[in-house]
Structure 1
Amino acid sequence: MKQNSFKTWFKSGSPWIWMNAGAVSIAVVMTVGLLALIAVRGLSHFWPSDVIEVDYRIPGQESLVILGEVNSDEEVPMTRLAGSGLPVDGEAPGTMNRQLLKVGNRDLYGADFRWVIGEWMENPRTPEDVIVVERREWGNFYGYLVDLRQNGEVIAEGASAWPALKQAVDRALTIHEDIQHLEKGEIGRINAGLEQVRLQKRGYELRDQLTPELQARLDAERAALDAEYAQLEQQLQALYTQFNRDSFTARVPDGREKEISLGKVVRAFQPNNMGVMDKTGHYFAKLWEFVSDEPREANTEGGVFPAIFGTVLMVLIMSVVVTPFGVLAAVYLREYAKQGVVTRIIRIAVNNLAGVPSIVYGVFGLGFFIYFLGGSIDSLFFPEALPTPTFGTGGMLWASLTLALLTVPVVIVSTEEGLTRIPRSLREGSLALGATKSETLWKIILPMSSPAMMTGLILAVARAAGEVAPLMLVGVVKLAPSLAVNANYPYLHLDQKFMHLGFHIYDVGFQSPNVEAARPLVYATALLLVGVIATLNFSAVAIRNHLREKYKALEN
């Protein structure tokens, strides 16, 4: 009886339902677990950890005082420690605790991190007056504030030095914003204008059209720009004088003192003297800096805003290009092309293109878009800029077109499926009422298949936003000095190279000279890339659902 019931249960298909449900559950748990791991390791980096000071006593050596943050700890076998040259018994069984401390002060110690043995650490303490200084160069500084100086003269020391230092740092940051505005805004505009004057003159010379009148006009434009530049340069020099006016002296645990200019300081705080609310405010300030600021220190500090901007802009341009081409190809194959051997071969080719490795598209983009098409454009329209290439080198436009070519098969297949699902009766009813085939296509078929088009676009965005290999050949760089959109004519500079979140992860994770400092940023940037892709996809899904509801009545 039990055997018959088991056979009945097995034939009913219930085991396969449970297996599918289990597989889906495992996939969901693994995905959520991976995202949780990335989030914890990435977002915890921005929390201001307490700084400990310990007496580090290595057997047979003098005791040292070490100051830093605990980055990680692990249990290490004795044999491994003995092999690293430490004075331990390599034949003894068991393990010892090893901790990685972020000690900062790279300009003094030569490295930001140091491995220490937990059993050799004595008298741990968290002094409230220890300061952490984030610098534009040489990473963090850990030490004790001695005094604050103005033009080399001490203006505050002792208990009054810390409040004065915070005010001085805020003042320096305000001046730094003014300097950035001048250098990237006004001076950048003048430099762009000077370059345009130079190119105009070179163009007239190549065409033998440089008359004395044109030369005089160009000289006048250059003189006006030079005069404006001289005024801005004076303002800039004054700002830099004020920017580098203040400095402070700090003492490290070994007794050495170092004077640091406030022009090199991004942030200064006392983590051991901060409450929960203060640390929470610091945490969100660091998060905002991460998503809104530019990178520094070989991309291991600062923010990733240029990479976010480049990723989103590239995906938007790719979407604008791939959607009409994919839709037109699908409409032709489904509505106009004669269904035969040639059409079937084209569909097979389209499906095969979807499986071509992305690096192949990168090589094609490099050869066709950059060398052939971009080189031809430079020869025809930008001869005055040669031999410096304008479009004959990697840039935003060629990267977007390469990814559009990579994702167009997905849009074609999805659009064709949407066209296939439209009832034949709607086509015949439209034609019977006197509409032409083109009117039926534009007013009935394409609007009703728009949800399928959006599905193809969603799949295209999901694939293109995470691609890195082809971008390394057609325009992405480690650090882009300016964004592809700015206030200089023509405002959208598609010929410029750009930063990308995916390449930023590769660069920070595998090309960084400071591996330990870069590791948490790899997780944080990966989480941000997932968030950007999810945001783009959810936006497309919302549009698709709206279109689906709009045309549901016609389908019924």
Structure 2
Amino acid sequence: MMGKWFKSGTPWIWMTGGAVSLSLIAVVGLILLIGWRGLSFFWPSEIYEFDIVNEQGQHANLIGEIYDSETVLKQQLVEAGVTGLENEPDELERYLIKVGNREFVDLDFMWVLGTTIKDERLADGVVVFERTKNGNFYGYLTEIKENGVIVSDDSTSLIQQLKQRLARTIELNDKEEDLLTGDIGAINYELDRIRLHKRKAELDGELTAERIADFDKQAADLHQQYLVLEKQLFDYRKEADRDSVTVKDMRGQDVTLSMADILDFYQPNNMGFFEKVGHWFHQVAKFIVDDPREANTEGGVFPAIFGTIFMVMLMAVIVTPFGVIAAIYLHEYAGKNNITKFIRISVINLAGVPSIVYGVFGLGFFVYIIGGSLDDIFYPEALPSPTFGTPGVMWSALTLAILTLPVVIVSTEEGLSRIPSALREGSLALGATKSETLWRIVVPMASPAIMTGLILAVARAAGEVAPLMLVGVVKLAPTLPLDGNFPFFHLERKFMHLGFHIYDVGFQSPNVEAARPLVYATSFLLVTVIVGLNLAAIAIRNNLREKYRALEH
């Protein structure tokens, strides 16, 4: 009986189904874990005030949130140099407290033994300030000043006054940022173009007195516009620096914070559940749309999101036609001989080459050889500063296109092989040429397989980091590859990438504890971006399958 059951194949079906189920559970569980650890970072945690007595009997006051806790052996602490633990149990509890106020403490986080905490209470009325630098600031709001003069110290109206004045300051900061990246940025871009045009005319021997005068006039006109905008910029900064707030910190001292340095504030201990939910959505949105700050340990990741999607889409535009044409040649035109077999084996083996090898190839061939040649031919006026002879988003896209090319070729060939030969023969019998048959019958029917190859290529390219570190990705890119300056798409620029951002924040950050939740949040965001790109490609593939299903039958 048992032998018949095994021979029927049922155990192997159950074993295969179980393995698939376990794999799905593991993948979903991993994504949920990453999402939970990352997204919970944006939830407004309760702020506590601690009375601490250290081993020397000195008293201290801490204000912060309990970030983590763990049990440690007393012997470990003694070996680490901690004293005063003679009467304590063998296992002790200690807490990781996020205290902020970076300009007055060594680190944002500190470990505190439970035995040294003499009192712990919710910090009623404490305010958390998010700042452009030095991280968060925890303290009690005492007064608001305008040009150094106190305008409010009434506890009942301080928060409302702070909201109104901070909204005004943020509006001024936004105008300043728009001016810097808009009109002033455009003027600087045009001044640089004039400098390059003047240099090119000099190299070509066409720099006459009239052209020099024309270049100088253009530069002078732009400089006059710049002076007007500069005055406007300084006015915005002066207005933004008008207000300030005085906050009592954990040392009991009053600290004055300029309103221009404050991005947001909130009172987590005074929030209801729905207020916390609204704040969570607000923080997640800021993480997605803001630029990074503080060595990427604060702020958002918008440049990295944009860079990842832009590079992947550019790679897809490059790899698809080359992969499809190569597959069509191998399947439809190439002879069935040893050379074709060798080419197929080589294509398959290319898929197993380590990605860092492609990065070295891209750096040597694309950046130094092709990019350097383009600079010599088309941009001699910019030398010795390279234009295309330096890592950039175009070289990154080309490098990943070569890396994913075997996937597209193999997938397209498999799709071509599934199309019945009767369709080809029928088309030829009706008078169509071979090329017409290919482009009007065969390729459209193979388009779902082409999309499958593109899906696999996008999934691999979006997660690659090693080759990008050599051919274009950077820790912080001051400008995006797309802006309002002609030619709008600047493929020579360096860019940020979510994968490299994870590596940089997780392994290069000077503040490990502050960076840890951002690693989870960025990882979850990268997975979301990859899933989103794949879902879009899958939707297109399914639509194509339905469109050509009747022809297949």
Structure-1-length-normalised TM-score: 0.98
> 1:107 is paired with a residue of what secondary structure?
coil
After the TM superposition, which residues 93-492 of structure 1 pair with which residues of structure 2 at under 5 Å, given as runs?
94-159=90-155, 160-492=157-489
In structure 2, the residue matched to 1:61 is: 57
In structure 2, the residue matched to 1:555 is: 552
Note the C-alpha offset of 1:92: 7.1
Contact 1:508-1:521 at 8 Å conserved across structures: yes
Contact 1:292-1:304 at 8 Å conserved across structures: yes
Counterpart selection for 2:72 from 62, 76, 84: 76
Note the C-alpha offset of 1:88: 4.8
Equivalents in 1 of 2:81, 2:344: separation in Å? 64
Instruction: Say yes or no: does 1:87 pair with 2:83.
Output: yes
Equivalents in 2 of 1:8, 1:120: separation in Å? 70
The AA in structure 2 aligned to 1:125 is R
Q: Deviations over 1:414-458 (max 9, x none)?
A: 000001111011111111111110111011100000000000000
The AA in structure 1 aligned to 2:431 is G
The AA in structure 2 aligned to 1:74 is E
In structure 2, the residue matched to 1:526 is: 523
Contact 2:129-2:263 at 8 Å conserved across structures: yes
Contact 2:63-2:123 at 8 Å conserved across structures: no
The AA in structure 2 aligned to 1:98 is R
Contact 1:79-1:90 at 8 Å conserved across structures: no
Note the C-alpha offset of 1:253: 2.1
Percent identity over the alignment is 56
List alignment gaps of at least 5 residues for structure 1. none
After the TM superposition, which residues 510-549 of structure 1 pair with which residues of structure 2 at under 5 Å, given as runs?
510-549=507-546
Equivalents in 1 of 2:171, 2:268: separation in Å? 23
In structure 1, the residue matched to 2:31 is: 35
The AA in structure 2 aligned to 1:46 is F
Equivalents in 2 of 1:451, 1:363: separation in Å? 33
Equivalents in 2 of 1:532, 1:90: separation in Å? 54
In structure 1, the residue matched to 2:18 is: 22
Q: Deviations over 1:451-504 (max 9, x none)?
A: 000000000000000000000000000001111100001100000000000000
Note the C-alpha offset of 1:324: 0.2
Q: CA RMSD in A?
A: 1.2
Contact 1:79-1:91 at 8 Å conserved across structures: no
Contact 2:128-2:265 at 8 Å conserved across structures: yes
Equivalents in 1 of 2:382, 2:226: separation in Å? 23
Contact 1:454-1:544 at 8 Å conserved across structures: yes
Contact 1:103-1:112 at 8 Å conserved across structures: yes
Equivalents in 2 of 1:91, 1:34: separation in Å? 43
Contact 2:130-2:263 at 8 Å conserved across structures: yes
Note the C-alpha offset of 1:59: 4.3
Range moving further from structure 2, 285-294 or 274-283: 274-283
Equivalents in 1 of 2:121, 2:163: separation in Å? 24
Contact 2:75-2:90 at 8 Å conserved across structures: no
The AA in structure 1 aligned to 2:110 is R
Structure-2-length-normalised TM-score: 0.98
Equivalents in 2 of 1:191, 1:211: separation in Å? 24
Contact 2:288-2:302 at 8 Å conserved across structures: yes
> 2:103 is paired with a residue of what secondary structure?
helix
Instruction: Say yes or no: does 1:47 pair with 2:43.
Output: yes
Equivalents in 1 of 2:91, 2:119: separation in Å? 22
Note the C-alpha offset of 1:246: 1.0
Contact 1:83-1:90 at 8 Å conserved across structures: no
Note the C-alpha offset of 1:149: 1.1
> 1:434 is paired with a residue of what secondary structure?
coil
> 2:138 is paired with a residue of what secondary structure?
strand
Equivalents in 2 of 1:69, 1:9: separation in Å? 60
Contact 1:505-1:522 at 8 Å conserved across structures: yes
Equivalents in 1 of 2:86, 2:542: separation in Å? 65
The AA in structure 2 aligned to 1:425 is A
